[in-house]
Structure 1
Amino acid sequence: MVAVAAPRAIPRATLRQRVRALLAWLHLWVGLGVGTVFAVIGLSGSVLVFGEDILRWQQPQLSTFEPRIDGEVLAGILARESSEGLRGVHLPHAERPVWTGFYTDGRERLFAPDDGRLLLERSAENDVIAWLFELHAHLLGGETGEAVLGIVGWISLGLLLTGLYLWWPKPGRIRAQLRVFRGPPTRRWLTWHRSAGVVLTPLLLLSTLTGVGMVYHDGARALLTSLFGGGETPAAPSQDARRADVDWPAVLARAQAALPGAQLTRTGAPAEDNDVVSFRARAVGEWHPNGRSTVHVDRAGRGLLLVHDATGQRLGARMTEAIYPLHIGSVGGVVMKWLTALTGLLPAFLLATGFLYWRRRRGK
């Protein structure tokens, strides 16, 4: 009987080297592929951070208006535009002191706050910022593009984590691993790539995680609320219409009084058979630029049907609603705004330096 030798175990150090080599190979080739899409998304995001500033620069007449909320003007806009596919109206506020209508086909129209006259129409076909938003949020492909974007987000998280693992130094060598060199080219591109990536990884992780959280909003909310508490935003009530028209001046006044100190941000015409007029509002202390609080009143503006103050939710729900403002850099003032824009440039920088390092190394 011939004895069969047992297979020799792979030494731990050799196994670690093989895993590291595999991760380095994946980091390189996935980075050169998916990293290109990641870079495009990042660059478009950097521009979108300053979207409102660019709009005011393009349309300086918008800054001449005062943010006035008039119920009669709102009623006129809704009556005139509902047949055009209007699905909601953003109320005038300090940053954009005009009425903004959002349409089912993706268009956006801006109306004067004093009389509701049309000032501007924007869409991905005629406005670069609207086009960049479609690229950034949907890869110009609607729901399919958004699904692809979610996959790219997960892969990008993997690239960041594998890059961090490949960089991780031995004890006492952190400073050496963060050092950058001017030459030779191979060392220059490698040290620029890994040092910039490591130093700014926290910001890039935040931006990528919040982006993935927006694509998979329902899953993110379920996870955070299960861990930290909270629930769904209360659904709008429904009751049969008791009158044909909406008393918009009374409705606005009643909704504003329901959340003292809050800013009403969005509304729309109720369904013909529904008596409920719904508002989005930004309560004091909310990070979300449009607010996640809600107010629901009847068409007559007499009955207050439901009020949801988002600041009173448990931690998990508040964390969910912080995803969007953290992603767009609307929290933390001007400093965070510029840091968010800088973070959007980083994927392109990492792609370029990684490619240059690979090319020089391959050339040798």
Structure 2
Amino acid sequence: MASTPLTTHAPPRRRVRAVLSWLHLWVGLTVGIVFALCSLAGTVLVFHVDLLKLQHPQLAQHAPVADGRVLARLIERWGPEGMRSLDLPREDLPVWQAYFEDGHRQYFAPEDGALLLYRSHHDDVLMWLHEWHVELLGGKTGKEVLGVFGWTSLALVLIGLYLWWPRSGRYLAQLKVHAGPPVRRWLSWHRSSGVVLLPLLLLATVTGIGMVYGRGFQKVFVAAFGGENVKAPELPKDTASIDWTKAIAQARAALPDARLARVSVPDPDEGVVAFRAQANGEWHPVGRSTVSLSREGRVLQTVDATTHRLGLRMSQALYPLHVGAVGGTTMKWVTAVIGLLPAFLLVTGFLFWRRRRGHR
């Protein structure tokens, strides 16, 4: 961040640079604070499941078995109280994870459906950080504000790149990190870290914006590269009971190479039973593949997300890229480190500005 005096007597290019430098400083010291705090929360959330099991070791003391009889009891007991979907037990979180309309989550033992844990952003720090990271604790309005901050942060990053850009042949010299004096040290640390890690910072920022404006991004990707969402089938209202053991077996048979990940809780008279699955090759940790069944267990539709055209696959890749679900443990740690970068840029930029002002 550099504060260059604005002057109407300087050449046009220098005036543009002065304006951009001023914006980079003062917008960075305001919007940059929110950007940094959101990113720090994201760093923690990369390890959400690991930290959850560390906080509540009882969640890891089970075999990851999805019993249809247990699922039936859970839906009968908790469906009327706002339970909308459940994640099936899996290796890294071997319990039923239920999502409720008001945003809270509950965790149930896979053996008998016993309630193990209740969490909401009011009483759980990880849930609170999640609400802050995705909507600034402000619901739909907070999410819209976060989107504006995201675009502004992207502009700051690009302005910083423009201000750093050296003359031809001086790129390595411009990347050199200096130990002193303080003004030069903070400026070189600020610039060099931002430029070296720029691709990853852009990836995190753009995918974050893309998640806020998911529909808009999907329209752009689909228009440019093809693909369209497959509409779920519709059936007349039906009150027949569901054999959940059969439903799970049928869904697995419909996508034999996929992992069943989530089931939606149907309304009492809804005719379609919907599962989400993670097919081989999918990046999304829950998967975007789907299986739709009738209440009697007849397969109505099977969608393998890996067969979608490029545009839709690009849209569906935004979330896994943002949370570090691609590339295994290495990418997970890289994503966590990138979450620290905005705070580092904020601090070094501020220290440079303060030191420089003190020398005037």
Common fold, TM-score beyond 0.5? yes
Distance in 2, matches of 1:237 and 1:105, equals 27
Deviation at 1:128, TM superposition (A): 0.6
Where do residues 70-219 of structure 1 align in structure 2 (5 Å cutoff)?
A: 70-219=67-216
Answer yes or no: is 1:256 the counterpart of 2:215: no
Q: Structure 1 residues 242, 106: CA separation in 2 closer, same or farther (over 3 Å shift)?
A: closer
SS in 1 for 2:128: helix
- Conserved? CA contact 1:244–1:272, under 8 Å: no
SS in 2 for 1:171: coil
Deviation at 1:308, TM superposition (A): 0.9
SS in 2 for 1:54: helix
Answer yes or no: is 1:282 the counterpart of 2:278: yes
**Amino acid of the structure 2 residue aligned with 1:187:** R
Distance in 2, matches of 1:241 and 1:256, equals 25
Provide the aligned length of Structure 1 versus Structure 2. 352
Distance in 2, matches of 1:201 and 1:333, equals 21
CA RMSD of aligned residues (A): 1.3
SS in 2 for 1:182: coil
SS in 1 for 2:54: helix
**Residue 328 of structure 1 corresponds to which residue in structure 2?**
323
Distance in 2, matches of 1:179 and 1:17, equals 24
**Residue 314 of structure 1 corresponds to which residue in structure 2?**
309
**Residue 5 of structure 1 corresponds to which residue in structure 2?**
none
- Conserved? CA contact 1:214–1:323, under 8 Å: yes
Runs of 4+ in structure 1 off by over 6 angstroms are none
- Conserved? CA contact 2:240–2:296, under 8 Å: no
**Residue 4 of structure 1 corresponds to which residue in structure 2?**
none
1:355 is matched with which residue: 341, 350, 353?
350
SS in 2 for 1:27: helix
**Residue 14 of structure 2 corresponds to which residue in structure 1?**
17
Deviation at 1:344, TM superposition (A): 0.4
Deviation at 1:241, TM superposition (A): 4.0
- Conserved? CA contact 2:225–2:310, under 8 Å: yes
- Conserved? CA contact 1:27–1:162, under 8 Å: yes
SS in 2 for 1:102: strand
**Amino acid of the structure 2 residue aligned with 1:356:** L
Where do residues 221-300 of structure 1 align in structure 2 (5 Å cutoff)?
A: 221-232=218-229, 234-300=230-296
**Amino acid of the structure 2 residue aligned with 1:288:** H
Identity %: 57
SS in 2 for 1:294: strand
- Conserved? CA contact 1:180–1:191, under 8 Å: yes
Distance in 2, matches of 1:243 and 1:147, equals 39
**Amino acid of the structure 2 residue aligned with 1:76:** R
Distance in 2, matches of 1:288 and 1:180, equals 38
Once the two structures are superposed, residues 128-175 of structure 1 have per-residue CA deviations (whole angstroms, 9 ceiling, x without a partner) of 100000000010000000000000000000000000000001111111
Distance in 2, matches of 1:235 and 1:76, equals 29
Gaps of 5+ in 1: 1-9
- Structure (1 or 2) with the larger CA radius of gyration: 1
Distance in 2, matches of 1:341 and 1:117, equals 34
